């Protein structure tokens, strides 16, 4: 649309004033008993440092532009840029440094915006302007900046290309003022850390839609340690690890009769906890519902979990196929805290013909990301006592009277007699 306009005007867009408002906490101690209280000297020092401009910014070398920390106030950044053509942008990073000894957090995010001197509520439609953390995470209130640590802000200003009409020469002045105050009990790290955050914080971030870092952790196979008390005597006797198996809830999860074992926030053990038979007899009638394994994982293993984890595990609707010897030839539906994944949930459609319930579940996000199929299966290998081992799936074979599905020690899908002591590596959900 730009060929319609033969303007020679330079479109001047100026942005300035990125501030940190510092609120100084008052520390006071009034001791009313005999004795001496010594208060260690502390400092409060949160400020900007180290501006780096993106060398690919279109305006560099072509237009008047600069970004700098105010030499008299290191809590203030000014930048000014002229964007001449649609597609021009200006981008830089600046560090927020806590050089003091007191933890800080963002108390308020104050924003103002003026276009040609007039206060407005929204950024003009021909302009993209954002201030985020360097990794794209939104800047939020209560975000903690611990003493001795640094955060990096990313500032980006862009003259958009998808506009129908070029604006007249415009001056835009915007101010963002993240106000840092002394951290209190509400302070928290905004970024979700699956390996270290509390289970409740992780669930809160998931339910609030802050799944960016959870997805990164899932796709990277990030694990967290879980210490188990397998004999329920109050002492830890087994250390294992869990990882995120699923985060999404696609529309098919709402289908009538659909298993919820690959829907919502699913966690699976990344290694094998123990070995145990699927059943005490050599047939697969009764499927998962009547298996020895189901009793074992929802009893001994569930009870071995740390209390903080047991408290967040939710009930899950589990749909399982029927075995060769089942006379009714209908799928089983149970409600469980812990469950084994099915053939499809791990291996996708490659072996769905073995499982009569395969149309009622889906491959979990983790194994789908790894593109697990019959030709790519190394991502399904799990270890027991530091060695690759077979591990059970909950799917009985519909064409063999003794077999349940397993993932083998080299990652392939196979079947095994119900009486065999294969690896136990359950999954569970912590949110829908």
Q: Please, what's the largest Cα pairwise distance for the chain?
A: 86
- Judge if 47 and 106 occupy the same domain: yes
pLDDT band at 120 (very low <50, low <70, confident <90, very high): confident
- Judge if 383 and 268 occupy the same domain: yes
Mean per-residue pLDDT, 334-355: 92
- Judge if 291 and 173 occupy the same domain: no
pTM for the model stands at 0.67
pLDDT digits (tens, 9 = 90+) for 142-159: 889 999 999 898 888 888
Mean per-residue pLDDT, 225-229: 96
Instruction: Flag whether 341 is in a domain.
Output: yes
Selection from 169, 418, 173 nearest residue 287 by Cα: 418
Instruction: Flag whether 149 is in a domain.
Output: yes
- Judge if 141 and 225 occupy the same domain: no
Instruction: Flag whether 253 is in a domain.
Output: yes
pLDDT band at 1 (very low <50, low <70, confident <90, very high): very low
Provide the pairing of β-strand 172-182 with 21-22: parallel
- Judge if 160 and 210 occupy the same domain: no
List the single range of 46-60, 167-181, 251-265, 270-284 with lowest mean pLDDT.
46-60
Residue 126 phi/psi, 5-degree rounding, is -95, 5
Mean per-residue pLDDT, 229-235: 91
Instruction: Flag whether 291 is in a domain.
Output: yes
- Judge if 85 and 110 occupy the same domain: yes
List the single range of 10-19, 190-199, 210-219, 388-397 with lowest mean pLDDT.
10-19
Taking phi first (over 0 means left), then psi (-120 to 50 degrees means alpha), and beta for anything else, what does residue 310 get?
alpha
Instruction: Flag whether 120 is in a domain.
Output: yes
Q: What is the C-alpha separation between 319 and 265, in angstroms, rounded?
A: 17
- Residue 129 lies in domain: 2-182
Q: What is the C-alpha separation between 209 and 201, in angstroms, rounded?
A: 12
Instruction: Flag whether 189 is in a domain.
Output: no
Domain boundary among the residues 114, 148, 182 is at 182
Domain boundary among the residues 148, 182, 216 is at 182
In this prediction, what percent of the chain has a pLDDT beyond 70? 90
List the single range of 31-35, 261-265, 368-372, 397-401 with lowest mean pLDDT.
31-35
Query: What's the number of domains the chain is made of?
Result: 2
What's the token pair of residue 395? 């799917």
pLDDT band at 184 (very low <50, low <70, confident <90, very high): very high
The 10 Å Cβ neighbour count of residue 228 is: 21
pLDDT at residue 65, as a whole number: 67
Residues forming beta bridges with residue 317, ordered by sequence position: 335
Residues forming beta bridges with residue 270, ordered by sequence position: none
Residue ranges in 165-290 assigned as alpha helix (H): 199-207, 212-220
Q: What is the C-alpha separation between 284 and 134, in angstroms, rounded?
A: 54
pLDDT at residue 2, as a whole number: 35
The 10 Å Cβ neighbour count of residue 4 is: 8
Q: What is the C-alpha separation between 49 and 93, in angstroms, rounded?
A: 10
| E strands present in 247-362 | 265-269, 274-276, 316-320, 332-336, 338-339
- Judge if 209 and 178 occupy the same domain: no
pLDDT at 187 over 80: yes
Are the beta carbons of 195 and 223 closer than 8 angstroms? Answer: yes
Instruction: Flag whether 307 is in a domain.
Output: yes
- Judge if 154 and 222 occupy the same domain: no
- Judge if 128 and 258 occupy the same domain: no
pLDDT band at 31 (very low <50, low <70, confident <90, very high): low
pLDDT at residue 278, as a whole number: 95
Domain boundary among the residues 134, 149, 182 is at 182
Residue located via tokens 């209130």:
141
- Judge if 337 and 362 occupy the same domain: yes
For residues 305 and 7, the model is more confident at 305
pLDDT at 242 over 90: yes
List the single range of 72-76, 244-248, 271-275, 342-346 with lowest mean pLDDT.
72-76
Mean pLDDT of the residues in the chain: 87
Provide the pairing of β-strand 65-69 with 127-133: unpaired
Helices (H) and strands (E) in the chain, counts: 7, 26
| E strands present in 116-260 | 118-119, 127-133, 144-145, 150-159, 172-182, 223-228, 238-246
Instruction: Flag whether 190 is in a domain.
Output: no
- Judge if 94 and 122 occupy the same domain: yes
Q: What is the C-alpha separation between 379 and 432, in angstroms, rounded?
A: 25
pLDDT at residue 8, as a whole number: 33
Selection from 197, 212, 247, 199 nearest residue 366 by Cα: 247
- Judge if 241 and 131 occupy the same domain: no
pLDDT at residue 199, as a whole number: 95
Q: What is the C-alpha separation between 198 and 400, in angstroms, rounded?
A: 44
């Amino acid at each position: 649309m730009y060929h319609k306009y033969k303007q020679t005007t330079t479109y001047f867009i100026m942005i300035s004033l990125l501030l940190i408002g510092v609120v100084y906490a008052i520390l006071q101690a009034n001791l009313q008993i005999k004795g001496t209280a010594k208060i260690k000297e502390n400092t409060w020092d949160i400020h900007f440092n180290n501006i780096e401009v993106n060398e690919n910014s279109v305006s560099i070398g072509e237009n008047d532009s600069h970004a700098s920390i105010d030499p008299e106030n290191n809590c203030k950044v000014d930048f000014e840029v002229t964007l001449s053509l649609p597609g021009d942008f200006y981008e830089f990073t600046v560090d927020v440094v806590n050089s003091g000894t007191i933890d800080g957090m963002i108390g308020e995010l104050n924003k103002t915006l003026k276009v040609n001197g007039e206060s407005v509520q929204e950024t003009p439609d021909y302009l993209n302007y954002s201030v985020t953390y360097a990794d794209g995470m939104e800047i939020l209130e209560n975000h903690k900046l611990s003493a001795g640590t640094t955060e990096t802000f990313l500032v980006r200003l862009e003259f958009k290309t998808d506009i129908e009409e070029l604006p007249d020469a415009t001056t835009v002045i915007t101010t963002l003022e993240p106000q840092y105050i002394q951290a209190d009990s509400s302070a928290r790290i905004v970024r979700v850390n699956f390996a270290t955050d509390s289970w409740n914080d992780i669930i809160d971030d998931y339910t609030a839609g802050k799944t960016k870092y959870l997805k990164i952790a899932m796709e990277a196979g990030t694990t967290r340690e879980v210490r188990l008390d397998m004999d329920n005597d109050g002492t830890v006797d087994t250390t294992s690890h869990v990882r995120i198996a699923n985060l999404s809830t696609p529309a098919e999860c709402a289908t009538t009769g659909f298993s919820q074992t690959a829907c919502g926030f699913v966690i699976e053990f990344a290694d094998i906890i123990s070995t145990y038979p699927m059943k005490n007899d050599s047939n697969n009638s009764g499927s998962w519902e009547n298996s020895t394994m189901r009793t074992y994982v929802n009893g001994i293993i569930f009870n071995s979990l740390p209390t903080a984890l047991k408290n967040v595990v939710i009930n899950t609707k589990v749909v399982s196929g029927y075995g060769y010897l089942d006379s009714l030839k209908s799928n089983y539906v149970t409600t469980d805290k812990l469950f084994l994944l099915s053939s499809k949930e791990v291996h996708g459609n490659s072996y769905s013909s073995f499982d009569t319930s395969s149309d009622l579940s889906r491959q979990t996000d983790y194994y789908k990301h790894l593109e697990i199929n019959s030709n790519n299966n190394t991502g399904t290998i799990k270890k027991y006592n530091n060695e690759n081992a077979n591990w059970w799936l909950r799917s009985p074979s519909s064409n063999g009277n003794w077999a349940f599905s397993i993932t083998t020690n080299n990652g392939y899908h196979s079947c095994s007699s119900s009486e065999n002591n294969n690896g136990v590596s359950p999954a569970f959900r912590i949110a829908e």
